[in-house]
Amino acid sequence: MATKSKGKKKAPIKAPGRKPAPRKGRFSIEGKRANGKNAGHDLQHEVEQLLYRQAELLDSQQWQAWIDLFTDDGVYWMPPEPSHKTWEGMPAIFAEDRNLMTVRMKRVLHPDAWSQRPLWGTNHVVSNTQIKKVNPNGDIEVKSRFHMMELRRDDVRHFAGSYTHHFRKTKDGYRIKLQRVDMTNAQAAFDYVLQVWV
């Protein structure tokens, strides 16, 4: 008759290459939650939704709501070429704070605004969103690509390039501290100037 061996129980054998599963609510070394979502997934989603909302506000001509996406000291800047590092003392296609944005909005909405009398509209597509930098205070820098089609009567114009956004974290969510627009065709010849923001 076999007898039971006495002594300490042996530890269970671990399969090679297996790692213990992270506990609920914790992050593993790879930066993933227990449910498999990437740690930065929520931030990426929030940023993309903000960019999509901006495009929707521009295309639906909700100018004031779009301006309200900016911080009080926010700036919309479109340099004539990518080598420019500042708008101060330099030529710019756009270099507007909220006050200048409001002036442009009122001019566009004026009943006698010639640029708005014919059939006119825009359509934005935003993609290739990358979070480039996350600061300790929660502010982030984001790079993305855009394409905008503008219709005016029978004329169609296309603008494309990249956005660089500096988003500031506030109690109401992220707001735009700086929006830099580098248009690929910024140096192209156009029949008439841009009336609104790209």
CA distance 179 to 146: 13
CA distance 136 to 181: 25
Three-state DSSP class for 82?
coil
State both tokens at 45.
């989603």
Please report which helix (H) or strand (E) contains residue 56, including its range: helix 41-59
Query: Has residue 32 got a pLDDT over 60?
Result: no
Query: Has residue 152 got a pLDDT over 70?
Result: yes
pLDDT in tens, 89-121: 999 999 999 999 999 998 888 766 555 556 788
Predicted local confidence at residue 40, as pLDDT? 84
Which whole-number Å values give the CA distances from 88 to 69, 91, 95, in the listed order? 23, 8, 9
Predicted local confidence at residue 78, as pLDDT? 96
Three-state DSSP class for 165?
strand
Mean pLDDT throughout 28-42?
Answer: 48
β-bridge pairing 70-78 and 173-183: parallel
Mean pLDDT throughout 153-165?
Answer: 92
DSSP 19: -
Q: For residues 21 and 176, which has the higher predicted lDDT (pLDDT)?
A: 176
- The backbone torsions φ and ψ at residue 40, rounded to the nearest 5 degrees and listed phi first, read -95, 10
Predicted local confidence at residue 25, as pLDDT? 39
pLDDT band at 155 (very low <50, low <70, confident <90, very high): confident
Average pLDDT, the chain: 82
pLDDT band at 164 (very low <50, low <70, confident <90, very high): very high
Which amino acid is residue 145, in one-letter code? R
* Core vs surface per residue 89-116: b (16+ CB within 10 A) or e: eeeeebbbebeebeebbeeeeeeeeeeb
